[in-house]
A and B are shown apart, each in its own frame.
Chain A
Amino acid sequence: MCGIAGLIHRGKSSKVGFELQGMLQALKHRGEDSTGYALYGDTEGKNFIMRVKVGENVGEGSSSVAEDVSVYDERKKIVESYLSEMGAKIVKEERILPYSLRYEVQYDKKDLLEFSQKIESIPGVEILSMGKSLEVIKDLGNAKMVCDRYNLDKVIGTHAIGHARMATESGVDIKSAHPFWGYPFSDVSVVHNGQLTNYWNNRRALENKGMRFMSECDSELIAVYIAQKMREGATLEEGMKESLSGLDGVFTYFVATKDSLGMAKDTMAAKPLVLYESDDLVAMGSEEIAIRSILPQEIDTYDPFDGEVKVWQI
């Protein structure tokens, strides 16, 4: 199963961390192996925010192998030395959990491919997100647990997408959890509900073009697929429309960028999505109860049709 939710405020900011937590918690019956948030917070937009994991959460039903915390410390040191080597100045550093790091860095180059490849050349290290607004936070457990663990309910921003996961195709671990960063594009993230049946064919083709995969989760393909389309010059909406024929299987997915939020539904409409749209807010989720968690009053909602792609700006 799995559940997805997303919202975008148009023309204002709000407590998107708190709101998304409510939406995802309402969907916890669709899966609570892991929960992930992609939050687009209000920042000055000068520095990059990099969320990195240097290890896995080995509790709560994890399929990962336990490592000593000293290993995480060692990886952290290497990450920081590589940042320094590449001319990225650390402005702020937080270690929320032993395996979870957050850096604000000054980095002048626009191309993040080389940067990302360097950081991820460290075994056991993965960049969860990189952007001037985006922060991807994902961990094992339901939405409330992850929100409390990372203090997400106070995050102010314009839009957010999230995912409540029931692990079916790959392991119960952070690397297989959604959202996926649209590597190596700044501020691009993806969540997906469904199953892709041409994953390996697409993955091989994209790897031949230099794109990287960090997990064996089929949903990661969407992030990489869209990122590759954008790399080739397509807009977000164009990339999403191409995905309707390029990706095989059943899916409903959301993509977010620094200033937009989009949804796409496969041509058989096999996966659910309920959508609420007004002048100042768009909220959507796998079930209406997700939207009701932030809009309890009577509202007009609808199911997007098969093969539909929509993109909204903040």
Chain B
Amino acid sequence: MANLKNTEKKTKSQAMGMHTEVLTGRTQQKFFNPDEAENFYYFGTYDVDFNKRTDLDVKDMTAAEANKKIDGLMSEGYGTIVIKNPQGKHSLGVGILNKLNLIFEGSLGYFGMGSCDGPIVRINGRVGWSCAENLMAGKVVIEKNAGSCFGAAIRGGDLICKGSVGARTGIDMKGGTIIIGGDAGAFTGFMMQRGRIIILGDVGINLGDSMYDGTIFVGGEIGSYGSDAVDSELTKSDQDWLKRKLKVAEIGENFDVSKMKKIVAGKKLWNYDNLEPTEKKGAI
């Protein structure tokens, strides 16, 4: 377990004049000590070997049973798990806070891969609403289409859908990257606060409605702009980043990124600063 003790040493943020308040009661002022990074791990995570591979048929399992089984396999050191017959079940693969290669041979229902941190996931099918909600880190690739609220509130990692996605993709996202190979529905990037969304196809009405920050790149037509979503200049740096990202995502290999539109927040609707989330939390 990480040593998250109170530290007397001034952190960078304190040196900048932040985090000056003294927290009392049940709240404790704990800051991550970089010196302890190698000792840091989540409770309930495992050392796994990516070369140790197994199949898991979940056809006759409930989602809870399947998730428990995945956890059990990780505890046995399996680093590559292939899930057979997911058959559109809801809430599969949720809460994995581990390095893991996870492959689904089929489609997932709602809330698949929610609240994960670290796994590399490939879904050879479709996903329902709210896939990878609250993703912290890792990579989730969907080979077909995805439902609405794709990547809601993600904070990090790469979320890739090679097909089309429904409405409210990246709603409330706070970091990370979402890449869509096809089209996206209405209210894409609704209230997003940070991170990037890349859509190679068309996008529906109210794009980036009430977005606080972050960037949306669109390759096709835009139904309409939402409140406070505005065009911005696509720079050479943006284009280089897009090319790299698409290459890593194995999507849109020959896509001409120079013709993409870049949409950002007009910053007329809010009072928001550029603090990092941890700094923001401290400042509040």
Q: Which residues of A contact B (CB under 8 A)?
A: 267-270, 272, 274, 287-289, 291-292, 296, 298-303, 305-307
Cα-based distance from A301 to B165 in the complex (angstroms) = 11
Cα-based distance from A289 to B92 in the complex (angstroms) = 13
The 5 A-B pairs at the shortest CB distance, nearest first, are namely A288-B88, A269-B167, A303-B166, A306-B186, A302-B145
Q: Taking A301-B145, A302-B145 as contacts, is the C-beta distance between A269 and B186 under 8 angstroms?
A: yes
A3 to chain B: closest CB distance in Å?
12
Q: Could you tell me if B166 and A305 are in contact, using CB atoms closer than 8 angstroms?
A: yes
Partner of B164, one of A288, A291, A292, A302: A302
Query: For the complex, is B193 an interface residue (Cβ under 8 Å from A)?
Result: no
Query: For the complex, is B177 an interface residue (Cβ under 8 Å from A)?
Result: no
Partner of A272, one of B126, B129, B144: B129
Q: Could you tell me if A302 and B126 are in contact, using CB atoms closer than 8 angstroms?
A: yes
Cα-based distance from A48 to B168 in the complex (angstroms) = 45
Q: Could you tell me if A298 and B166 are in contact, using CB atoms closer than 8 angstroms?
A: no
Q: Could you tell me if A305 and B129 are in contact, using CB atoms closer than 8 angstroms?
A: no
- Chain B residue numbers with a CB within 8 Å of A272 are 128-129, 147-148
Name 24 interchain pairs, CB-CB below 8 A, sorted by A.
A267-B205, A269-B166, A269-B187, A272-B129, A274-B128, A287-B88, A287-B90, A288-B88, A288-B109, A288-B126, A289-B88, A289-B89, A291-B88, A292-B87, A296-B87, A300-B145, A301-B145, A302-B126, A302-B145, A303-B145, A303-B147, A305-B167, A305-B204, A306-B204
Chain B interface, number of residues (Cβ within 8 angstroms):
30
Q: Output the nearest chain B residue to A298 by Cβ-Cβ distance.
A: B106
- Chain B residue numbers with a CB within 8 Å of A288 are 88, 107, 109, 126, 128
Q: Could you tell me if A269 and B148 are in contact, using CB atoms closer than 8 angstroms?
A: yes
Cα-based distance from A292 to B109 in the complex (angstroms) = 10
Q: Which residues of B contact A (CB under 8 A)?
A: 87-90, 105-107, 109-110, 125-126, 128-129, 144-148, 163-168, 183, 185-187, 204-205
- Chain B residue numbers with a CB within 8 Å of A301 are 107, 126, 144-145
Interface of A is mostly: loop
- Chain A residue numbers with a CB within 8 Å of B110 are 287
Q: Could you tell me if B88 and A292 are in contact, using CB atoms closer than 8 angstroms?
A: yes
- Chain B residue numbers with a CB within 8 Å of A270 are 167
Q: Output the nearest chain A residue to B124 by Cβ-Cβ distance.
A: A298
- Chain A residue numbers with a CB within 8 Å of B164 are 302
- Chain B residue numbers with a CB within 8 Å of A300 are 126, 144-145
Q: Output the nearest chain B residue to A287 by Cβ-Cβ distance.
A: B109
Partner of A306, one of B129, B147, B205: B205
Q: Taking A267-B205, A288-B109 as contacts, is the C-beta distance between A298 and B125 under 8 angstroms?
A: yes
Cα-based distance from A287 to B107 in the complex (angstroms) = 12
Partner of A269, one of B105, B106, B185: B185
B149 to chain A: closest CB distance in Å?
10
- Chain B residue numbers with a CB within 8 Å of A292 are 87-88
Q: Could you tell me if B87 and A289 are in contact, using CB atoms closer than 8 angstroms?
A: yes
Q: Output the nearest chain B residue to A291 by Cβ-Cβ distance.
A: B88
- Chain B residue numbers with a CB within 8 Å of A269 are 148, 166-168, 185-187, 204
Q: Which of B109, B144, B147 has the most CB of A within 10 A?
A: B147
- Chain B residue numbers with a CB within 8 Å of A306 are 167, 185-186, 204-205
Q: Could you tell me if A287 and B204 are in contact, using CB atoms closer than 8 angstroms?
A: no
Q: Could you tell me if B107 and A298 are in contact, using CB atoms closer than 8 angstroms?
A: yes
- Chain A residue numbers with a CB within 8 Å of B125 are 298
Q: Output the nearest chain A residue to B184 by Cβ-Cβ distance.
A: A305
Q: Could you tell me if B107 and A305 are in contact, using CB atoms closer than 8 angstroms?
A: no
Cα-based distance from A171 to B153 in the complex (angstroms) = 37
Cα-based distance from A204 to B280 in the complex (angstroms) = 52
* Extra A-B contacts (19), CB below 8 Å, given A269-B187, A305-B166: A267-B186, A267-B205, A268-B187, A272-B128, A272-B148, A274-B147, A287-B88, A287-B90, A287-B110, A288-B88, A289-B89, A289-B90, A301-B144, A302-B163, A305-B185, A305-B186, A305-B204, A306-B185, A307-B205
Cα-based distance from A160 to B205 in the complex (angstroms) = 32
- Chain B residue numbers with a CB within 8 Å of A267 are 186, 205
